[in-house]
A and B are shown apart, each in its own frame.
Chain A
Amino acid sequence: MRNSQTPSAAPRPKSPGLNLWILPVLFMGIFYFYPLGKITQLSFARAANEAWPGVREFLSSPSIARVIGFTFKQAILSTLLTLVVGLPGAYLFGRFDFRGKKFLRALTGVPFVMPTLVVAAGFYALLGPTGWLNSLLMTVWKLDHPPLTFVNTFGAILTAHVFYNTTIVLRVVGDYWSRLDPRLENAARILGATRWAALREITLPLLLPAITSAALLVFIFDFTSFGVVLVLGGPTFATLEVEIYYQTISLFNLPAAATLSLLQVGFTLILTVVYTRLTSRLQKPIQLSSRGRAQRPLVSRRSRLLAGLLIAGLLAFLISPLAALAAKSLTGSEPGAPLTLAFYRSLASRPRESSFYVPPAAALGVSLGYGILTVGLALSLGLPAAWSLAKKNLTLIDRILDPILMLPLGTSAVTLGLGFLVALDQPPLNLRTSPLLVPLAHTLVAFPFVVRSLTPALASIQPRLRQAAAVLGASPRQVVREIDLPLVGRALLVAASFAFTISIGEFGASSLITRPEYPTVPVAIYRLLARPGALNFGQAMALSTILMAATLLGMLLMEYFRIGEVGEF
């Protein structure tokens, strides 16, 4: 297919080239490399007054080797499982049109934003020793002991990772699939290929850039997993991120923490370098079609049945822990209690001691504000970067910068949080106590997502379309508006929704310095959960349910709100 392209020397709209990199590089330099460099330097400077055996000795201790091994093992398995669960869903979303699809797609994004402690409470309510499932089985089979052990097992870690990250596969792959021209596949079928052969020979190879993109993001998230491993895996499991937290906070052994952080960043770098090498081979400029053409309704009874089963399965898996939460917000922590709206009512009233009390509406407002800022920042930084990376012939600088963009995702939040503290402490960048630092930190995580979800779409734009438009007299700006934007509109939406959910879900913000007058919803939930008393627990569950509803609403608005004809043409 490559051969059919016009030679690469063909006139493109004069590319701004290096200029596009100025902002992303500036941003990464100030808010990532500088803080990380400074905390690393400071950490090793302390090595003299610690009982620090040296990097090599430290890394060769068996407990550290075990942590590294486990980190890889759980990340690889979690990623594979996430793909297994996510790909059929991506197919459904990508290839078929059915009622309630937008709602369903929005719903599958909700797990991504839920605080771990709250999700863990949901899993406990479902699968814990006294959870619904075990209680049911014990009654049915008249058992004395709960038959299922879920919490504090390896399986719990894997399940929670799939629960959190399936939406990445659904969104990244599903979107790409929806614009893959089905005629290629149809042609293969007409020429005698079986359904499987067509999938294997045509569709999967074309999908590979999106699948590897999604797999990489999922892997890095699992690789740096903290809350899930801590809360659901229990004390016998530790990832690098958990060990970094322990070394930093409990032991204040900064050289050890810095060594592990650099190791984590190093692994991420190797991984992304391999990935970028791989995708440069996989990327094919293909004709992306409008979604209307790529998608068909579910007509036959068999396809309806299969789709129904798939949707039911996805919903049962992604929604049941959340539903358990919502149920708890109506009954409180004690099982079998009568339904009540008391927790919601009490959320709205000012409790007696009232200190630092922020009404839930205000916390939602703060979360929303940070979310919108993050979307704006991440898109304005990610778009030029993705634009540069979508070129057919990457320059050396593009090749070097590409994997580097992913590094913040693979960096310990604890380490980076301390980095901000020691680096951003002088005017004009005295941001360490500024509320602005929160959206900036969120942007650091959201930015790679934006780049990864935009690049495949931008790269797939056929240069001929642009050239044709230019020949027909379109100005460069018109080309962007009439050709590029409609073609990448859907991907833009995916990117924005990632940035939004990452911000609402508060990745690593707890390692920043927060101002009590601007708590986000997750912070407010954690505050409630940290206190004893049935009312506090019930309120935490009620607030979590409100967070779910608000996220769902936000995602739905994004599904329906399109700038102009973006996404459809």
Chain B
Amino acid sequence: MKLKTLFMIVGILVVAGACRPQPTGPETLTVMTHDSFAVSDEVVQIFEEQNNVIVQFLEVGDTGTAVNKAALSKDNPLADVFYGVDNTFLSRALEEGIFEVYDSPLLEQIDPAYQLDPTHQALPVDFGDVCLNYQKSFFEQAGLEPPETLEDLVKPEYRDMLTVENPATSSPGLAFLLTTVGYFGEDGYLDYWKALVANGVEIVNDWETAYYSAFSQAGGPDPIVVSYGSSPPFEVLYSEEPLEEAPTAAITSPGTCFRQIEFVGILKGTTQRDLAEKWVDFMLSPTFQEDIPLNMYVFPVNSQAKLAEVFQQYLVVPEVTADVTPAMIAEGRERWIEAWTETVLR
């Protein structure tokens, strides 16, 4: 009797797996994304109603994992569209050849500075800056000017004040390492890191620990942390009590931030090229672009998209960010991380 039940369970499972929803009614467009993707329901509904389609999202892990999964499944793609590859992984995605070329008409509305892929396989959607953040009240109480440049951080007055993330395990950590490579050059970045170590830099493995455990804004010991340029406005937006002013600020002097740009592309082998094009256009259009900041904490690349007031008021966008191209990152990533590990951790 028991065996029979077991067979039934497995049978049901197999059948359940085999029975895919029959294509009745509207078609389904599948969009795979990294796990920080979010969008307002109303915005997706606009697209679904316009095109009589159901959009199914698949979250496939963090950015690196998502790119790997897209690469490993390129012969039998998981989805029609993939959103979420950023400039630190762009070369991998292009080398693996996961995307089809698509010259979206909306690219005209996007600053060419964001269009890092001239072949138009990967189209820019949003950007976010990884910047040093500091707690304002700490420096006010200490009667100390907050640091403004990378050089400031190795000065004795800022000793034991900084937490950064490990570039091997954290995406803002990698971004900050790339910032130092861009700023001090391949010859100088390791010396800078040696000076940071001598000045008591604290390293943790992930942004969550850095921001919510080590950062003094959350009760930790260090008043300076590597986070995002968008973090201060979100401290206002998601404060416990309504705030007049952001409790933290981002350092945005030239060359101190790294700009992460995220891209979307149509996956090779899609059977719904038309719909996929429409979705990509939709993501680049002001409707979707204006919905981005409050959902994903990054900012639209379409120049016609308007920012909500909270960002106009509290967001500081750096004018000059670290100059490190995707090709340089692809070529140097492993070498820089290993040299960094040897210098900082051993």
Q: Which residues on A are within 8 Å of B, measured CB to CB?
A: 16, 19, 22-23, 26-27, 42, 117, 120-121, 124-125, 128-130, 146, 151-152, 230-231, 234-236, 242, 245-246, 248-252, 332-335, 337, 340, 342-343, 352-356, 376-377, 380-381, 383-384, 414, 417-418, 421-422, 425-434, 436, 440, 477, 510-511, 513-516, 527, 529-538
Q: Which residue of A has the minimal Cβ distance to B243? A: A534
Chain A hits for B36, CB < 8 A: 530
B220 at the interface (CB under 8 A from A): yes
Instruction: Decide: B64 and A250 in contact? CB cutoff 8 A.
Output: yes
Looking at B4-12, B104-112, B265-273, B313-321, the stretch in contact with chain A turns out to be B4-12
Q: Which of A252, A335, A414 contacts B219 (CB 8 A)?
A: A335
Q: How far is the CA of A430 from the CA of B334 in the complex (A)?
A: 35
B157 at the interface (CB under 8 A from A): no
Chain B hits for A340, CB < 8 A: 240
30 A–B contacts from the bound complex (CB under 8 Å): A19-B3, A27-B10, A128-B220, A130-B220, A146-B221, A235-B169, A236-B345, A250-B333, A250-B334, A250-B337, A252-B64, A343-B240, A353-B40, A353-B294, A353-B295, A355-B41, A355-B43, A356-B37, A377-B9, A380-B2, A421-B73, A432-B73, A510-B61, A514-B59, A530-B208, A531-B297, A532-B231, A534-B239, A535-B239, A536-B238
Q: How far is the CA of A149 from the CA of B9 in the complex (A)?
A: 51
Chain A hits for B239, CB < 8 A: 533-535
Q: How far is the CA of A193 from the CA of B295 in the complex (A)?
A: 70
0/1 string, B45-63, CB within 8 A of A gives 1: 0000000000011111110
Chain A hits for B297, CB < 8 A: 531-532
Instruction: Decide: B9 and A380 in contact? CB cutoff 8 A.
Output: yes
Instruction: Decide: B169 and A532 in contact? CB cutoff 8 A.
Output: no
Instruction: Decide: B3 and A16 in contact? CB cutoff 8 A.
Output: yes
Instruction: Decide: A511 and B61 in contact? CB cutoff 8 A.
Output: yes
For residue A122, give the distance in angstroms from its CB to the closest CB of chain B.
Answer: 10
Instruction: Decide: A333 and B218 in contact? CB cutoff 8 A.
Output: yes
Instruction: Decide: B238 and A531 in contact? CB cutoff 8 A.
Output: yes
For residue B67, give the distance in angstroms from its CB to the closest CB of chain A.
Answer: 8
Instruction: Decide: B69 and A431 in contact? CB cutoff 8 A.
Output: no
Q: How far is the CA of A19 from the CA of B3 in the complex (A)?
A: 9
Q: Which of A22, A516, A532, A535 contacts B228 (CB 8 A)?
A: A532
0/1 string, B158-180, CB within 8 A of A gives 1: 00000000101100001000000
Instruction: Decide: B212 and A429 in contact? CB cutoff 8 A.
Output: no
The interface centre, meaning the residue of B20, B67, B209, B228 with most chain A CB atoms within 10 A of its CB, is B209
Q: Which of B17, B35, B92 contacts A514 (CB 8 A)?
A: B35
Instruction: Decide: B6 and A418 in contact? CB cutoff 8 A.
Output: no
Instruction: Decide: B9 and A418 in contact? CB cutoff 8 A.
Output: no
Q: Which residue of A has the minimal Cβ distance to B13? A: A436
Q: Which residue of B has the minimal Cβ distance to A432? A: B78
Chain A hits for B334, CB < 8 A: 250-251
Chain B hits for A511, CB < 8 A: 61, 65
Q: How far is the CA of A23 from the CA of B235 in the complex (A)?
A: 53
The interface centre, meaning the residue of A231, A425, A533, A535 with most chain B CB atoms within 10 A of its CB, is A533
Instruction: Decide: A418 and B240 in contact? CB cutoff 8 A.
Output: no
Task: Give the 4 A-B CB pairs with smallest separation, nearest first.
Answer: A533-B238, A333-B218, A428-B18, A249-B64
Chain B hits for A16, CB < 8 A: 3
Chain A hits for B168, CB < 8 A: 235, 246, 250
B144 at the interface (CB under 8 A from A): no
Q: How far is the CA of A389 from the CA of B142 in the complex (A)?
A: 68
Contacts A26-B10, A235-B168; A355 near B39 (Cβ below 8 A): yes
Q: Which of B58, B67, B234 contacts A532 (CB 8 A)?
A: B234
Q: Which of A248, A383, A425 contacts B76 (CB 8 A)?
A: A425
Looking at B181-189, B198-206, B277-285, the stretch in contact with chain A turns out to be B198-206
Instruction: Decide: A354 and B41 in contact? CB cutoff 8 A.
Output: yes
Q: How far is the CA of A486 from the CA of B90 in the complex (A)?
A: 60
B68 at the interface (CB under 8 A from A): yes
Instruction: Decide: A355 and B72 in contact? CB cutoff 8 A.
Output: no
Q: How far is the CA of A246 from the CA of B59 in the complex (A)?
A: 20
Instruction: Decide: B18 and A513 in contact? CB cutoff 8 A.
Output: no
Instruction: Decide: B58 and A513 in contact? CB cutoff 8 A.
Output: yes
0/1 string, B279-299, CB within 8 A of A gives 1: 000000000000100110100
Instruction: Decide: A129 and B221 in contact? CB cutoff 8 A.
Output: yes
| 10 new A-B contacts at CB < 8 Å, known A235-B345, A355-B40 | A146-B221, A152-B203, A235-B166, A235-B204, A250-B64, A353-B295, A414-B65, A422-B72, A532-B234, A535-B238
Chain A hits for B219, CB < 8 A: 125, 130, 333-335
Q: Which residue of A has the minimal Cβ distance to B20? A: A430
B38 at the interface (CB under 8 A from A): yes
Q: Which residue of B has the minimal Cβ distance to A437? A: B17
Q: How far is the CA of A16 from the CA of B2 in the complex (A)?
A: 12
The interface centre, meaning the residue of B14, B59, B228 with most chain A CB atoms within 10 A of its CB, is B59
Instruction: Decide: A128 and B333 in contact? CB cutoff 8 A.
Output: no
B94 at the interface (CB under 8 A from A): no
B237 at the interface (CB under 8 A from A): yes
Instruction: Decide: A516 and B59 in contact? CB cutoff 8 A.
Output: yes
Chain A hits for B228, CB < 8 A: 532
Q: Which residue of B has the minimal Cβ distance to A428? A: B18
Q: How far is the CA of A335 from the CA of B220 in the complex (A)?
A: 9
Q: Which of B166, B213, B235 contacts A128 (CB 8 A)?
A: B213
Q: Which residue of B has the minimal Cβ distance to A533? A: B238
For residue B41, give the distance in angstroms from its CB to the closest CB of chain A.
Answer: 6
Instruction: Decide: B212 and A121 in contact? CB cutoff 8 A.
Output: yes
Instruction: Decide: B208 and A533 in contact? CB cutoff 8 A.
Output: no
Q: How far is the CA of A426 from the CA of B14 in the complex (A)?
A: 12
Instruction: Decide: A231 and B240 in contact? CB cutoff 8 A.
Output: no
Instruction: Decide: A356 and B166 in contact? CB cutoff 8 A.
Output: no
